[in-house]
């Protein structure tokens, strides 16, 4: 088979002293950290939409990227070459998974039937590629935000015709995800929110969304798709407000609509930033509620207020992420999907490979640091000790819920209760820095 990226070599681990930009310096797939090979901690994935499409487009300018398929004009041929491209590039980079939206990978059509026919042709091609390459599907999803029909939302559209179309589109996307052996299926509510409350019936939109997701669960069970359903929080962009704003908002929503057993979360670093949280906050919240499913790994820019989807390079952030993921016992069916794109002036396929390399190396360093912090034990021990009061006496009663306002008042009324122990934040920050 003719290669799509003939200039990209197979990328291997060469160690921290190597100056080869086409090698891993920290990511050593088989090396065991905490008793588990690095590759199993991460389950890295490449995002089709950023790496094969996109190409540097922003609201002010068109494509800048130079790609081997630039001369191809036939949409089906183009789709097939790009699909081979992602299989080839992931294999060379030792990335075991990819992710896609239905309309990323195959041309749309005037009706859903036409679009489905195009999709089927590409799915057949993808199944053939799976025989030649080791790459597998981490998750599929439906693009419910691009076409003009979705300008007012999909499952929260005021127009039932759009709602019906979206249901049909998601049904098909779940089917093809199952056909490709996808480990998960993602719902990102790209326009499930509002631009203004002046025209919005919020209760109806939330109910419609809850029903939509319940129908998806029914259909998943009906066809026997055993992948994990995931919802991806994001507070805004493209709309002013999205209902799946953050982990906490989704947890409440899932419980109200009886969906909490059927969904976990796909948490994205830059979306946490937009929600005014750290990514560690979002991961920790999901972890303690038992709904940490998968991660869209990228990073934002603190000086830019939008979803810049940059490749992750911040070691402090990757360390905090792996600290949560390790305490979650790993990502299970999930993985670390590079939902990340090159900066507009980074135009070459070498840039694309090197962006993934630095992302993988950054997570390798984050993993090693996080495991060392856990092994050292002082940081988790500090947190444990901070709450020691709840192990005995009145604290024990509170922890066991064996008390009342009257009891607590009686206990407290004649004591002089003053400030508590120091939180020691600065010392703990120095402690973390020791492991970076
Ligand atoms: C956009 C989202 C999107 C989802 C998949 O901000 O991150 O790419 O991951 O629909
Ligand atoms: Ni994402
Ligand atoms: Ni995003």
Q: Ligand 1, closest atom to CA 143?
A: 10
pTM for the model: 0.98
Pocket of ligand 1 from Cβ distances under 6 Å: 101, 141, 186, 188, 232, 234, 268, 296, 307, 339
Question: Is 96 among the domain residues?
Answer: yes
* Each residue's pLDDT expressed in tens, for the chain with a length of 436 residues: 899 999 999 999 999 999 999 999 999 999 999 999 999 999 999 999 999 998 999 999 999 999 999 999 999 999 999 999 999 999 999 999 999 999 999 999 999 999 999 999 999 999 999 999 999 999 999 999 999 999 999 999 999 999 999 999 999 999 999 999 999 999 999 999 999 999 999 999 999 999 999 999 999 999 999 999 999 999 999 999 999 999 999 999 999 999 999 999 999 999 999 999 999 999 999 999 999 999 999 999 988 889 999 999 999 999 999 999 999 999 999 999 999 999 999 999 999 999 999 999 999 999 999 999 999 999 999 999 999 999 999 999 999 999 999 999 999 999 999 999 999 999 999 999 999 9
Q: Is there a single domain that holds both residue 165 and residue 203?
A: yes
Active-site hit among 28, 104, 246, 339: 104
Integer Cα distance of 162 and 212 in angstroms: 12
| Of the residues 327, 350, 376, the one at which a domain ends | 376
CA distance 30 to 43: 12
> With contact defined as beta carbons under 8 Å apart, do 186 and 139 qualify?
yes
- Note whether 211 and 288 are same-domain residues: yes
Distances in Å between the alpha carbon of 408 and those of 214, 393, 400, 412, 419?
Answer: 43, 12, 14, 6, 18
Considering the domain boundaries, does residue 308 fall inside one?
Answer: yes
Query: For residue 351, what are the domain limits?
Result: 32-376
**309 shares a domain with 237:** yes
Rg of the chain taking only CA atoms, in angstroms: 24
- Output the CA torsion 245→248→249→255 (10° steps): 140
For residue 231 the two structure tokens come to 């919802």
Q: At which of 349, 376, 403 does a domain end? A: 376
| Active-site entry in 25, 41, 101, 271 | 101
């Amino acid at each position: 088979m003719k290669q799509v990226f003939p200039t990209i070599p197979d990328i291997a681990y060469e160690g921290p002293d190597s100056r080869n930009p086409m090698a891993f310096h920290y990511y050593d797939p088989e090396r065991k950290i905490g008793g588990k090979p690095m590759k199993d901690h991460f389950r890295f994935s490449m995002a089709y939409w950023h790496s094969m499409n996109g190409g540097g487009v922003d609201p002010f300018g068109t494509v800048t990227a130079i790609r081997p398929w630039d001369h191809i004009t036939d949409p089906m041929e183009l789709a097939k070459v790009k699909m081979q491209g992602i299989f080839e590039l992931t294999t060379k980079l030792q990335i075991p998974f990819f992710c896609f939206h239905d309309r990323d990978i195959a041309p749309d059509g005037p009706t859903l039937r036409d679009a489905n026919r195009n999709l089927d042709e590409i799915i057949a091609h993808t199944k053939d590629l799976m025989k030649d390459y080791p790459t597998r599907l981490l998750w599929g999803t439906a693009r419910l935000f691009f076409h003009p029909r979705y300008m007012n939302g999909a499952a929260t559209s005021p127009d039932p015709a759009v709602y019906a179309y979206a249901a049909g589109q998601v049904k098909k996307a779940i089917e093809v995800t199952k056909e490709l052996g996808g480990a998960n299926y993602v719902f990102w509510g790209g326009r499930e929110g509002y631009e203004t409350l002046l025209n919005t019936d919020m209760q109806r939109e939330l109910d419609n969304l809850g029903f939509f997701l319940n129908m998806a669960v029914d259909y998943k069970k009906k066809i026997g798709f055993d992948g994990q359903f995931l919802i991806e929080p994001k507070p805004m962009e493209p709309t002013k407000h999205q209902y799946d704003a953050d982990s906490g908002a989704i947890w409440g929503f899932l419980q109200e609509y009886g969906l909490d057993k059927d969904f976990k979360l796909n948490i994205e670093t830059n979306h946490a930033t937009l929600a005014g949280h750290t990514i560690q906050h979002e991961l920790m919240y999901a972890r303690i509620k038992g709904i940490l499913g998968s991660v869209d790994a990228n990073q934002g820019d603190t000086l830019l207020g939008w979803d810049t989807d940059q490749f992750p390079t911040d070691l402090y952030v990757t360390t905090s992420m792996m600290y949560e993921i390790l305490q979650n016992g790993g990502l299970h069916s999930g993985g670390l999907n590079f939902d990340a794109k090159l900066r507009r002036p980074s135009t070459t396929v070498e840039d694309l490979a090197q962006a993934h390399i630095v992302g993988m190396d950054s997570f390798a360093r984050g993993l090693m640091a996080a495991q060392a912090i856990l092994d050292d034990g002082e940081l988790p021990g500090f947190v444990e000790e901070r709450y020691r009061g709840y192990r005995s006496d009145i604290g024990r009663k509170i922890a066991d819920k064996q008390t009342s306002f009257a009891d607590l008042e009686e206990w407290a009324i004649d004591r002089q209760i003053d400030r508590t122990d120091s939180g020691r934040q600065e010392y703990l920050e120095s402690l973390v820095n020791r492991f970076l």
